[in-house]
Structure 1
Amino acid sequence: MKGQHAEGRRPVVLGISGSERAGGNTDLALAHAGALVELRDAEFRTVALRDHRISPCSPCGDCNYRADPCALPDAMPQIVEEMKRADGIIYATPVHGFGLAHLMQIFIERAGVGFLRFERPLANKVGGIIVTGRRYSEASVHNQLVDNLLLNRMILVGSGFPALLRSTSREPALTDTEGLEAVERMVHRMLDMILLLRRHEDVTGEAVLPLDDRNERVVRERTH
Protein backbone atom coordinates (compact mmCIF):
# COMPACT_ATOMS: atom_id res chain seq x y z
CA MET A 1 0.00 0.00 0.00
CA LYS A 2 2.88 2.33 0.67
CA GLY A 3 3.31 5.07 -1.90
CA GLN A 4 0.05 4.24 -3.69
CA HIS A 5 -2.80 6.72 -3.94
CA ALA A 6 -5.26 7.99 -6.47
CA GLU A 7 -3.65 10.20 -9.10
CA GLY A 8 -4.15 13.89 -8.46
CA ARG A 9 -5.23 13.31 -4.87
CA ARG A 10 -2.08 13.48 -2.80
CA PRO A 11 -2.88 12.92 0.87
CA VAL A 12 -2.35 16.00 3.01
CA VAL A 13 -1.06 15.73 6.58
CA LEU A 14 -1.04 18.83 8.77
CA GLY A 15 1.40 19.07 11.65
CA ILE A 16 0.50 21.47 14.46
CA SER A 17 3.34 22.49 16.77
CA GLY A 18 2.40 23.67 20.24
CA SER A 19 5.93 24.64 21.23
CA GLU A 20 7.08 28.18 22.02
CA ARG A 21 10.64 27.24 21.09
CA ALA A 22 11.44 27.49 17.41
CA GLY A 23 13.81 24.72 16.37
CA GLY A 24 13.38 22.81 19.60
CA ASN A 25 12.77 19.09 20.00
CA THR A 26 9.06 19.38 19.19
CA ASP A 27 9.81 21.16 15.91
CA LEU A 28 12.57 18.66 15.11
CA ALA A 29 10.24 15.74 15.75
CA LEU A 30 7.50 17.27 13.60
CA ALA A 31 9.99 17.94 10.80
CA HIS A 32 11.09 14.31 11.01
CA ALA A 33 7.47 13.20 10.69
CA GLY A 34 7.04 15.57 7.75
CA ALA A 35 10.02 14.08 5.95
CA LEU A 36 8.51 10.62 6.36
CA VAL A 37 5.19 11.86 4.99
CA GLU A 38 6.86 13.33 1.92
CA LEU A 39 8.77 10.08 1.31
CA ARG A 40 5.35 8.53 0.81
CA ASP A 41 4.59 11.11 -1.91
CA ALA A 42 2.11 12.87 0.34
CA GLU A 43 2.00 16.56 1.23
CA PHE A 44 3.01 17.83 4.65
CA ARG A 45 2.03 21.24 5.98
CA THR A 46 2.95 22.81 9.30
CA VAL A 47 1.26 25.30 11.61
CA ALA A 48 3.39 26.65 14.46
CA LEU A 49 0.96 28.05 17.02
CA ARG A 50 3.60 30.48 18.30
CA ASP A 51 3.44 32.30 14.96
CA HIS A 52 -0.28 33.03 15.31
CA ARG A 53 -2.32 35.14 17.65
CA ILE A 54 -4.74 32.88 19.48
CA SER A 55 -6.92 34.42 22.16
CA PRO A 56 -7.75 32.37 25.22
CA CYS A 57 -11.43 31.70 25.83
CA SER A 58 -13.15 34.86 27.06
CA PRO A 59 -15.56 35.14 30.01
CA CYS A 60 -18.57 35.63 27.70
CA GLY A 61 -20.07 32.33 28.89
CA ASP A 62 -22.27 31.69 25.85
CA CYS A 63 -20.34 28.70 24.45
CA ASN A 64 -23.06 26.24 25.44
CA TYR A 65 -25.89 28.28 23.94
CA ARG A 66 -24.90 29.94 20.68
CA ALA A 67 -25.14 28.21 17.33
CA ASP A 68 -22.30 30.01 15.53
CA PRO A 69 -18.49 29.84 15.75
CA CYS A 70 -16.65 32.08 18.18
CA ALA A 71 -16.38 35.71 17.11
CA LEU A 72 -13.13 36.57 18.93
CA PRO A 73 -10.85 38.16 16.30
CA ASP A 74 -7.71 36.06 16.00
CA ALA A 75 -6.08 33.41 13.78
CA MET A 76 -8.31 30.52 14.83
CA PRO A 77 -10.62 30.54 11.77
CA GLN A 78 -7.65 30.26 9.40
CA ILE A 79 -6.05 27.44 11.36
CA VAL A 80 -9.35 25.55 11.55
CA GLU A 81 -9.70 25.85 7.77
CA GLU A 82 -6.23 24.32 7.38
CA MET A 83 -7.35 21.44 9.58
CA LYS A 84 -10.47 20.91 7.49
CA ARG A 85 -8.40 20.68 4.30
CA ALA A 86 -6.09 18.00 5.72
CA ASP A 87 -6.63 14.24 5.57
CA GLY A 88 -4.57 13.68 8.69
CA ILE A 89 -3.48 15.87 11.59
CA ILE A 90 -0.50 15.42 13.92
CA TYR A 91 -0.51 17.30 17.21
CA ALA A 92 3.05 17.85 18.44
CA THR A 93 3.66 19.39 21.84
CA PRO A 94 6.19 19.51 24.65
CA VAL A 95 5.46 18.83 28.30
CA HIS A 96 5.40 22.03 30.38
CA GLY A 97 4.98 21.98 34.14
CA PHE A 98 4.03 18.28 34.08
CA GLY A 99 1.17 19.03 31.69
CA LEU A 100 0.19 20.13 28.21
CA ALA A 101 2.12 23.17 26.94
CA HIS A 102 -0.05 26.26 27.28
CA LEU A 103 -0.12 27.09 23.55
CA MET A 104 -1.60 23.71 22.72
CA GLN A 105 -3.96 23.88 25.71
CA ILE A 106 -5.36 27.25 24.62
CA PHE A 107 -5.60 26.01 21.04
CA ILE A 108 -7.57 22.84 21.71
CA GLU A 109 -9.91 24.72 24.05
CA ARG A 110 -10.66 27.47 21.54
CA ALA A 111 -10.84 25.10 18.59
CA GLY A 112 -13.15 22.67 20.32
CA VAL A 113 -15.54 25.06 22.02
CA GLY A 114 -15.40 27.86 19.48
CA PHE A 115 -15.36 26.06 16.14
CA LEU A 116 -15.30 22.26 16.01
CA ARG A 117 -18.27 21.37 18.18
CA PHE A 118 -20.90 22.59 15.73
CA GLU A 119 -20.36 20.26 12.77
CA ARG A 120 -17.40 18.11 13.90
CA PRO A 121 -15.48 18.83 10.68
CA LEU A 122 -12.53 16.69 11.80
CA ALA A 123 -14.67 13.55 11.95
CA ASN A 124 -13.01 10.58 10.22
CA LYS A 125 -9.74 12.42 9.70
CA VAL A 126 -6.75 10.39 10.85
CA GLY A 127 -5.00 11.72 13.93
CA GLY A 128 -1.52 11.34 15.37
CA ILE A 129 0.27 12.64 18.45
CA ILE A 130 3.91 13.43 19.24
CA VAL A 131 4.92 14.45 22.76
CA THR A 132 8.40 15.61 23.70
CA GLY A 133 9.64 15.87 27.26
CA ARG A 134 12.54 15.58 29.63
CA ARG A 135 11.49 12.74 31.89
CA TYR A 136 7.96 12.92 33.33
CA SER A 137 4.28 13.23 32.36
CA GLU A 138 4.60 12.53 28.62
CA ALA A 139 1.98 9.78 28.87
CA SER A 140 -0.46 12.06 30.70
CA VAL A 141 -0.17 14.71 28.01
CA HIS A 142 -0.53 12.06 25.32
CA ASN A 143 -3.71 10.76 26.98
CA GLN A 144 -5.21 14.25 27.06
CA LEU A 145 -4.66 14.67 23.33
CA VAL A 146 -6.07 11.19 22.67
CA ASP A 147 -9.26 12.29 24.42
CA ASN A 148 -9.34 15.39 22.23
CA LEU A 149 -8.99 13.37 19.03
CA LEU A 150 -11.76 11.02 20.10
CA LEU A 151 -14.00 13.94 21.06
CA ASN A 152 -13.69 15.21 17.50
CA ARG A 153 -14.59 11.78 16.04
CA MET A 154 -11.11 11.41 14.54
CA ILE A 155 -9.48 8.05 13.79
CA LEU A 156 -6.46 7.23 15.97
CA VAL A 157 -4.44 4.38 14.50
CA GLY A 158 -2.66 1.84 16.65
CA SER A 159 1.06 1.99 16.02
CA GLY A 160 2.73 0.19 18.87
CA PHE A 161 4.16 2.45 21.57
CA PRO A 162 2.97 6.08 21.64
CA ALA A 163 5.29 8.58 19.98
CA LEU A 164 6.86 9.96 23.16
CA LEU A 165 10.35 11.42 22.72
CA ARG A 166 12.59 12.06 25.71
CA SER A 167 15.74 14.13 25.93
CA THR A 168 17.74 15.52 28.86
CA SER A 169 20.15 17.48 26.67
CA ARG A 170 20.22 21.28 26.84
CA GLU A 171 20.57 21.46 23.07
CA PRO A 172 17.75 20.27 20.76
CA ALA A 173 18.48 16.80 19.46
CA LEU A 174 16.48 13.72 18.49
CA THR A 175 18.34 11.10 20.48
CA ASP A 176 15.47 8.85 21.58
CA THR A 177 15.77 5.95 19.14
CA GLU A 178 12.66 4.14 20.36
CA GLY A 179 10.66 7.35 20.25
CA LEU A 180 11.71 8.00 16.65
CA GLU A 181 10.75 4.46 15.70
CA ALA A 182 7.31 5.09 17.20
CA VAL A 183 6.99 8.29 15.15
CA GLU A 184 7.87 6.37 11.99
CA ARG A 185 5.32 3.64 12.65
CA MET A 186 2.67 6.21 13.48
CA VAL A 187 3.25 8.18 10.27
CA HIS A 188 3.10 5.11 8.05
CA ARG A 189 -0.01 3.81 9.77
CA MET A 190 -1.67 7.21 9.41
CA LEU A 191 -0.99 7.30 5.68
CA ASP A 192 -2.06 3.69 5.22
CA MET A 193 -5.37 4.48 6.91
CA ILE A 194 -5.88 7.65 4.84
CA LEU A 195 -5.37 5.64 1.65
CA LEU A 196 -7.67 2.87 2.86
CA LEU A 197 -10.45 5.35 3.64
CA ARG A 198 -10.03 7.00 0.24
CA ARG A 199 -10.01 3.68 -1.59
CA HIS A 200 -13.27 2.64 0.07
CA GLU A 201 -14.92 5.97 -0.78
CA ASP A 202 -13.69 5.82 -4.39
CA VAL A 203 -15.14 2.32 -4.82
CA THR A 204 -18.42 2.71 -2.93
CA GLY A 205 -19.07 6.43 -3.14
CA GLU A 206 -19.72 6.44 0.60
CA ALA A 207 -17.68 7.30 3.66
CA VAL A 208 -16.48 4.39 5.76
CA LEU A 209 -17.88 5.89 8.94
CA PRO A 210 -20.94 8.01 8.20
CA LEU A 211 -22.10 10.28 11.00
CA ASP A 212 -25.67 11.25 11.80
CA ASP A 213 -24.99 13.25 14.97
CA ARG A 214 -22.63 16.04 14.00
CA ASN A 215 -23.64 18.16 16.98
CA GLU A 216 -24.45 16.25 20.15
CA ARG A 217 -26.03 19.35 21.69
CA VAL A 218 -28.62 19.48 18.91
CA VAL A 219 -29.31 15.75 19.35
CA ARG A 220 -29.87 16.24 23.08
CA GLU A 221 -32.21 19.17 22.44
CA ARG A 222 -34.27 17.09 19.99
CA THR A 223 -34.64 14.23 22.46
CA HIS A 224 -35.73 16.36 25.40
Structure 2
Amino acid sequence: MQGIRDDRPVIIGISGSERAGGNTDLALDYAGALVRERGAVFRTVYLRNHRISPCSPCGDCNNRLSPCALPDDMPAIVEEMKRADGIIYAVPVHGFGLAHLMQIFIERAGVGYLRFDRPLANKVGGIIVTGRRYSDASVHNQLVDNLLLNRMILVGSGFPALLRNTSSEPGLHDTEGLEALERMAHRMIDMTLLLRKHRSATGEPVLPLADRNERVVRQRSASLTHS
Protein backbone atom coordinates (compact mmCIF):
# COMPACT_ATOMS: atom_id res chain seq x y z
CA MET A 1 0.00 0.00 0.00
CA GLN A 2 1.19 3.50 -0.75
CA GLY A 3 2.10 5.74 2.15
CA ILE A 4 3.32 2.87 4.38
CA ARG A 5 6.99 3.21 5.21
CA ASP A 6 9.10 0.07 4.85
CA ASP A 7 11.58 0.10 7.74
CA ARG A 8 13.01 -3.33 7.09
CA PRO A 9 16.82 -3.57 6.93
CA VAL A 10 18.18 -3.55 3.39
CA ILE A 11 21.12 -5.67 2.28
CA ILE A 12 22.65 -5.18 -1.17
CA GLY A 13 24.50 -8.04 -2.84
CA ILE A 14 27.00 -6.96 -5.49
CA SER A 15 27.98 -9.69 -7.95
CA GLY A 16 31.32 -9.25 -9.67
CA SER A 17 30.91 -12.28 -11.92
CA GLU A 18 30.54 -12.20 -15.70
CA ARG A 19 28.76 -15.56 -15.65
CA ALA A 20 25.01 -15.43 -15.14
CA GLY A 21 23.83 -18.37 -13.05
CA GLY A 22 27.36 -19.34 -12.05
CA ASN A 23 28.72 -20.20 -8.62
CA THR A 24 28.86 -16.56 -7.52
CA ASP A 25 25.24 -15.87 -8.48
CA LEU A 26 24.12 -19.08 -6.76
CA ALA A 27 25.95 -18.09 -3.58
CA LEU A 28 24.36 -14.63 -3.61
CA ASP A 29 20.93 -16.15 -4.21
CA TYR A 30 21.51 -18.38 -1.19
CA ALA A 31 22.54 -15.41 0.95
CA GLY A 32 19.53 -13.47 -0.28
CA ALA A 33 17.15 -16.24 0.74
CA LEU A 34 18.65 -16.26 4.25
CA VAL A 35 18.34 -12.49 4.54
CA ARG A 36 14.71 -12.52 3.41
CA GLU A 37 13.91 -15.29 5.89
CA ARG A 38 15.00 -12.86 8.60
CA GLY A 39 12.47 -10.31 7.36
CA ALA A 40 15.00 -8.02 5.67
CA VAL A 41 15.12 -6.80 2.07
CA PHE A 42 17.77 -8.20 -0.26
CA ARG A 43 18.61 -6.73 -3.64
CA THR A 44 21.28 -7.86 -6.08
CA VAL A 45 23.39 -5.64 -8.31
CA TYR A 46 24.95 -7.56 -11.19
CA LEU A 47 27.92 -5.53 -12.33
CA ARG A 48 27.89 -7.31 -15.70
CA ASN A 49 24.58 -5.59 -16.46
CA HIS A 50 25.96 -2.10 -15.88
CA ARG A 51 28.27 0.21 -17.77
CA ILE A 52 31.29 0.83 -15.56
CA SER A 53 34.22 2.69 -17.07
CA PRO A 54 37.76 1.84 -15.94
CA CYS A 55 39.65 4.65 -14.27
CA SER A 56 40.90 7.06 -16.94
CA PRO A 57 44.42 8.54 -17.27
CA CYS A 58 43.28 11.96 -15.99
CA GLY A 59 45.64 11.64 -13.02
CA ASP A 60 43.81 14.01 -10.68
CA CYS A 61 42.13 11.40 -8.46
CA ASN A 62 44.21 12.22 -5.39
CA ASN A 63 43.61 15.96 -5.68
CA ARG A 64 40.08 16.45 -6.98
CA LEU A 65 37.40 17.63 -4.55
CA SER A 66 34.34 16.37 -6.43
CA PRO A 67 33.13 12.96 -7.66
CA CYS A 68 34.45 11.47 -10.88
CA ALA A 69 32.86 12.91 -14.02
CA LEU A 70 33.16 9.83 -16.25
CA PRO A 71 29.66 9.11 -17.60
CA ASP A 72 28.54 5.61 -16.62
CA ASP A 73 26.32 3.75 -14.15
CA MET A 74 28.56 4.20 -11.11
CA PRO A 75 26.63 7.11 -9.51
CA ALA A 76 23.38 5.10 -9.43
CA ILE A 77 25.10 2.04 -7.93
CA VAL A 78 26.84 4.14 -5.29
CA GLU A 79 23.53 5.79 -4.34
CA GLU A 80 21.96 2.36 -3.89
CA MET A 81 24.85 1.35 -1.64
CA LYS A 82 24.36 4.50 0.44
CA ARG A 83 20.71 3.61 1.04
CA ALA A 84 21.52 0.08 2.22
CA ASP A 85 22.17 -1.08 5.77
CA GLY A 86 24.62 -3.74 4.64
CA ILE A 87 26.57 -4.74 1.54
CA ILE A 88 27.85 -8.15 0.44
CA TYR A 89 30.58 -8.28 -2.17
CA ALA A 90 30.46 -11.59 -4.07
CA VAL A 91 33.17 -12.38 -6.58
CA PRO A 92 34.91 -15.32 -8.29
CA VAL A 93 38.65 -15.86 -8.42
CA HIS A 94 40.06 -15.16 -11.89
CA GLY A 95 43.71 -15.67 -12.76
CA PHE A 96 44.65 -16.13 -9.08
CA GLY A 97 43.14 -12.75 -8.24
CA LEU A 98 40.05 -10.59 -8.04
CA ALA A 99 37.77 -10.86 -11.08
CA HIS A 100 38.20 -7.79 -13.27
CA LEU A 101 34.61 -6.53 -12.97
CA MET A 102 34.92 -6.21 -9.21
CA GLN A 103 38.42 -4.77 -9.47
CA ILE A 104 37.24 -2.01 -11.80
CA PHE A 105 34.22 -1.41 -9.59
CA ILE A 106 36.05 -1.00 -6.27
CA GLU A 107 38.64 1.25 -7.91
CA ARG A 108 36.05 3.56 -9.46
CA ALA A 109 33.76 3.51 -6.43
CA GLY A 110 36.54 4.27 -3.98
CA VAL A 111 38.62 6.78 -5.88
CA GLY A 112 35.76 8.41 -7.74
CA TYR A 113 33.04 8.62 -5.10
CA LEU A 114 33.52 7.08 -1.65
CA ARG A 115 36.70 8.80 -0.56
CA PHE A 116 35.11 12.24 -0.26
CA ASP A 117 32.90 11.62 2.77
CA ARG A 118 33.08 7.84 3.38
CA PRO A 119 29.29 7.36 3.02
CA LEU A 120 29.57 3.62 3.73
CA ALA A 121 30.87 4.22 7.26
CA ASN A 122 29.00 2.14 9.86
CA LYS A 123 27.35 -0.06 7.24
CA VAL A 124 27.70 -3.80 7.77
CA GLY A 125 29.92 -5.56 5.24
CA GLY A 126 30.15 -9.16 4.07
CA ILE A 127 32.26 -11.02 1.51
CA ILE A 128 31.68 -14.17 -0.56
CA VAL A 129 34.46 -15.59 -2.74
CA THR A 130 33.92 -18.49 -5.13
CA GLY A 131 36.66 -20.46 -6.83
CA ARG A 132 38.09 -23.86 -7.65
CA ARG A 133 40.85 -24.18 -5.09
CA TYR A 134 43.54 -21.47 -5.16
CA SER A 135 43.90 -17.80 -4.12
CA ASP A 136 40.39 -17.40 -2.70
CA ALA A 137 41.84 -16.28 0.65
CA SER A 138 43.96 -13.63 -1.08
CA VAL A 139 40.93 -12.24 -2.89
CA HIS A 140 38.99 -12.25 0.38
CA ASN A 141 41.79 -10.33 2.11
CA GLN A 142 41.77 -7.66 -0.59
CA LEU A 143 38.05 -7.08 -0.14
CA VAL A 144 38.47 -7.01 3.66
CA ASP A 145 40.95 -4.17 3.22
CA ASN A 146 38.48 -2.35 0.99
CA LEU A 147 35.64 -2.64 3.50
CA LEU A 148 37.86 -1.42 6.32
CA LEU A 149 39.07 1.48 4.18
CA ASN A 150 35.46 2.58 3.83
CA ARG A 151 34.88 2.45 7.61
CA MET A 152 32.44 -0.42 7.27
CA ILE A 153 31.75 -2.93 10.03
CA LEU A 154 32.99 -6.39 9.08
CA VAL A 155 31.15 -9.02 11.11
CA GLY A 156 33.18 -12.14 11.87
CA SER A 157 31.54 -15.48 11.18
CA GLY A 158 34.20 -17.89 12.42
CA PHE A 159 35.57 -18.60 8.94
CA PRO A 160 35.44 -16.58 5.71
CA ALA A 161 32.71 -17.47 3.22
CA LEU A 162 34.96 -19.15 0.64
CA LEU A 163 32.97 -21.52 -1.56
CA ARG A 164 34.90 -23.99 -3.69
CA ASN A 165 33.65 -26.01 -6.63
CA THR A 166 35.96 -28.10 -8.80
CA SER A 167 33.13 -29.28 -11.05
CA SER A 168 32.56 -27.79 -14.49
CA GLU A 169 28.90 -27.30 -13.54
CA PRO A 170 27.84 -24.49 -11.17
CA GLY A 171 26.71 -25.68 -7.77
CA LEU A 172 26.88 -25.11 -4.03
CA HIS A 173 28.64 -28.27 -2.87
CA ASP A 174 31.06 -26.84 -0.29
CA THR A 175 29.39 -27.66 3.03
CA GLU A 176 31.87 -25.75 5.19
CA GLY A 177 31.75 -22.75 2.87
CA LEU A 178 27.95 -22.68 3.02
CA GLU A 179 28.03 -22.87 6.83
CA ALA A 180 30.34 -19.86 6.90
CA LEU A 181 28.05 -18.00 4.48
CA GLU A 182 25.03 -18.77 6.65
CA ARG A 183 26.72 -17.47 9.81
CA MET A 184 27.87 -14.36 7.99
CA ALA A 185 24.37 -13.58 6.67
CA HIS A 186 22.72 -14.05 10.06
CA ARG A 187 25.36 -12.04 11.90
CA MET A 188 25.04 -9.23 9.36
CA ILE A 189 21.33 -9.00 10.08
CA ASP A 190 21.97 -9.20 13.83
CA MET A 191 24.49 -6.35 13.64
CA THR A 192 22.21 -4.27 11.43
CA LEU A 193 19.38 -4.59 13.96
CA LEU A 194 21.76 -3.74 16.81
CA LEU A 195 22.97 -0.60 15.02
CA ARG A 196 19.40 0.47 14.33
CA LYS A 197 18.50 -0.08 17.99
CA HIS A 198 21.46 2.06 19.06
CA ARG A 199 20.49 4.90 16.70
CA SER A 200 16.87 4.70 17.83
CA ALA A 201 17.84 4.88 21.51
CA THR A 202 20.53 7.58 21.26
CA GLY A 203 19.91 9.42 17.99
CA GLU A 204 23.60 9.04 17.23
CA PRO A 205 25.64 6.74 14.98
CA VAL A 206 27.95 4.22 16.63
CA LEU A 207 31.05 6.01 15.33
CA PRO A 208 31.44 9.80 15.25
CA LEU A 209 31.00 11.41 11.86
CA ALA A 210 34.32 13.20 12.28
CA ASP A 211 36.02 9.82 11.97
CA ARG A 212 34.66 9.15 8.48
CA ASN A 213 37.18 10.82 6.21
CA GLU A 214 40.93 10.80 6.66
CA ARG A 215 41.37 13.34 3.83
CA VAL A 216 39.67 16.04 5.90
CA VAL A 217 42.08 15.41 8.76
CA ARG A 218 45.06 15.68 6.39
CA GLN A 219 43.69 18.87 4.83
CA ARG A 220 43.19 20.45 8.25
CA SER A 221 46.71 19.48 9.29
CA ALA A 222 48.13 20.97 6.09
CA SER A 223 46.20 24.21 6.67
CA LEU A 224 47.55 24.53 10.19
CA THR A 225 51.08 23.82 8.99
CA HIS A 226 50.93 26.56 6.33
CA SER A 227 49.05 29.12 8.42
Between the aligned partners of 2:95 and 2:162, the Cα distance in structure 1 is 16
> Given residue 128 of structure 1, which amino acid in structure 2 is its aligned partner?
G
Q: What amino acid is aligned across from residue 177 of structure 1 in structure 2?
A: T
Structure 2-normalised TM-score?
0.94
* SS of residue in 2 equivalent to 1:212: helix
1:50 equivalent among 48, 51, 64: 48
Deviations 1:182-210 (A, max 9, x none): 00000000000000000011011111112
* Secondary structure of the corresponding residue to residue 71 of structure 1: coil
The corresponding residue for 2:103 is 105
Match for residue 199 of structure 2 among 194, 198, 201: 201
Contact 1:88 1:190 in 2 (8 A): yes
Counterpart of 1:3? none
Residue 8 of structure 1, CA deviation: 4.1
Gaps of 5+ in 2: 223-227
Q: Which residue of 1 aligns with 2:14?
A: 16
Q: Which of 168, 174, 194 does residue 166 from structure 2 map onto?
A: 168
Cα distance between partner residues in 2 of 1:25 and 1:213: 37
User: Are the counterparts in 1 of residues 151 and 212 from structure 2 also a CA contact under 8 Å?
Assistant: no
Q: Does the CA-based 8 Å contact 1:118-1:214 persist in structure 2?
A: no
Listed one character per residue, the Cα deviations across residues 156-204 of structure 1 (whole Å, up to 9, x for unaligned) are 0111110000000001010001100100000000000000000011011
Q: How far apart, CA to CA, are the structure 2 residues paired with 1:145 and 1:26? A: 15
CA distance in 2, matches of 1:124, 1:130: 20
CA distance in 2, matches of 1:218, 1:199: 29
Give the match for residue 152 of structure 1.
Answer: 150
SS of residue matched to 1:120:
coil
How many angstroms does 1:46 deviate by? 0.5
Matches within 5 A, 1:16-35: 16-35=14-33
Amino acid at match of 1:118: F
Pairwise mapping of residues 56-75 of structure 1 onto structure 2 (< 5 A)? 56-75=54-73
What is the alpha-carbon root mean square deviation over aligned residues? 0.9
Separation in 1, partners of 2:118, 2:154: 16
Residues 83 and 122 in structure 1, CA contact (< 8 A), matched pair in contact too = yes
Number of the residue aligned with 1:36 = 34
In 2, the alpha carbon distance for the partners of 1:221 and 1:82 equals 29
Deviations 1:99-141 (A, max 9, x none): 0000000000000000000010000000000000001000000
Separation of aligned partners in 2, 1:164 and 1:201:
32
What is the Cα deviation at residue 215 of structure 1?
Answer: 2.8
Shift of 1:217: 1.9
In structure 1, C-alpha distance between the alignment counterparts of 2:216 and 2:189, rounded to whole Å: 33
Partner of 2:225: none
Q: Which residue of 2 aligns with 1:4?
A: none
Unaligned runs of 5+ in 1: 1-6
Give the ranges of 4+ consecutive aligned residues of structure 1 lying more than 6 Å apart after TM superposition. none
Contact 1:13 1:43 in 2 (8 A): yes
